[in-house]
Amino acid sequence: MARDGYVPLGTLLTPEEAGMAHDLLTSAGIGALLEDQALSAVDPLVRLAIGGTKLLVPEAEAERARALLDEAGVLAPASARPAEGPEIPEEEWAAEAPAGTPPADPPRWLRSTVVLTVAVAFALAVGSAILGLAHRGR
C-alpha cells in the first residue's frame, strides 16, 4: 500500500538492510518510509511471502535517492536490473525428474521450524490439559 506522493524505490529482503537504506536516505535529507518492516521481522517465511520490506521515497526525490543507493551499493544499479525475470527454457521447468530420484530434502531451518512448532503446540496442549484437570479438582 504505497502512500500518496511516495514511490517504491526497491524491496530489501531483511528489515536490517531496509533500516540501513532508510537511515542512509534520511541522513541525506530524503524522507524515506519503510513498509512491512515489522511484518518482515516476525518470521522468515512471512518475509518471503510478502516480498520483504519496501523502501518508499517522495516522488520528487526518487532519482536522487536511487543515485545515493546505487553509489552505496545497496540496491543493484539500474543497469544491472533486468526489465523482466530470467527466461527459463521450457525443457528445464517442464522436464520430469528421472525415475528413482528422491525428493529434495527440505532446508534445515524449515525442519527446525516445523519441529519447534510441533513441540510448542504439544507443550501448550499438555499444559492446558493439566491446568484443566487441576481446575476441576478444586
| pLDDT confidence band for 27 (50 / 70 / 90) | very high
- pLDDT over 80 (residue 4): yes
Task: Name the residue range of residue 38's domain.
Answer: 6-77
CA distance 34 to 3: 11
Rounded Cα distance, 59 and 50, in Å: 23
Amino acid at 39: L
Angle made by CA atoms 112, 45, 109, in degrees to the nearest 5: 20
Give the Cα separation of 74 and 72 in Å (integer).
6
On whether residue 105 sits in a domain, the answer given is no
pLDDT tens digits, one per residue of 66-109: 999 888 887 765 555 556 666 777 777 777 777 777 777 777 88
Q: What is the CATH number of the domain that holds 14?
A: 3.30.70.1530
Per-residue confidence (pLDDT) for residue 23, from 0 to 100 = 92
1 pLDDT more than 80 = no
* Residues 73 and 116 grouped into a single domain: no
